[in-house]
Amino acid sequence: MTLLILMRHGQSMWNAADLFTGWVDVPLTPKGIDEARDGGRAIAHLPIDEVHVSTLIRAQMTAMIALSEHGGGKTPVFQYPTEVEDGMSDNETRMREWAQIRGEAGQDGVLPVHVAWQLNERMYGDLQGLNKQATRDKYGDEQVHVWRRSFDVPPPNGESLQLTAERTVPYLESTLIPAIDAGKNVFVAAHGNSLRSIIMHLDDLSEEDVLKLEVPTGVPIVYERTDDGFVRKETL
């Protein structure tokens, strides 16, 4: 049976500062680095054939640190499409042109890492950069809880979990599940709400159930592919 391994990034600098982060691109704290390392040790014995991360550095750091603890012997290599498209920045153009592996020897032992904006955290809109406690003081605990945990109520000018699921679930179904069904064990490093939307879909949670769903930082959640869908493994 093939596996889907999900891991929320370790503590970020804005997690530690109690700020709404969303798509703001901040790195891990030393604690977050330790969490990623511990998460990697927890899955070190599991096979991994393909990695998917968001565009945000905290998820990418988590994946690379976790994989540094993995015993698979493969080198994680970020994958870039070969096609250059009109309107691309110089950075994007150069990476597509110059980051390709040319020699056959370089292909051996590669662990492909795919970057997908669809796995990004929900966009918190006007809340991004605000202190969470100050926001609770201003709007009330209940309103902030609804913005953070409800299914269909977005923060001002931001995404709800429902809107987040409209990009994460299609990515799950079009990219992750086909890879798993092709026999690959897939590791995903992403964010609290992007993973909540995926778990909601995999576990068939109701809108009420997802209110109580918390995804801890740096803790792997492992699903096994079965004939009936996905089953969460209780022990690693």
Residues labelled catalytic: 9, 121
Kindly report, residue by residue over 39-96, the tens digit of the pLDDT: 999 999 999 999 999 999 999 999 999 999 987 889 999 998 888 888 889 998 988 8
Mean of pLDDT values over 128-141: 97
Q: Show me where the domains of the chain are located.
A: 3-74+109-228
Length of the chain: 236
C-beta atoms surrounding 113 within 10 Å: 20
Architecture field, domain 3-74+109-228: 3-Layer(aba) Sandwich (3.40)
Question: CA distances (Å), 70 to each of 2, 40, 46, 133, 220, in order?
Answer: 17, 6, 8, 38, 13
Residue 105: pLDDT band with limits 50, 70, 90: low
Whole-model pTM?
0.94
pLDDT, position 54: 98
Q: Average pLDDT in the 4-9 region?
A: 98
Cα–Cα nearest to 22, from 155, 215, 137: 155
Residue 98 carries which side chain, given as an amino acid letter? Answer: W
The 10 Å Cβ neighbour count of residue 125 is 16
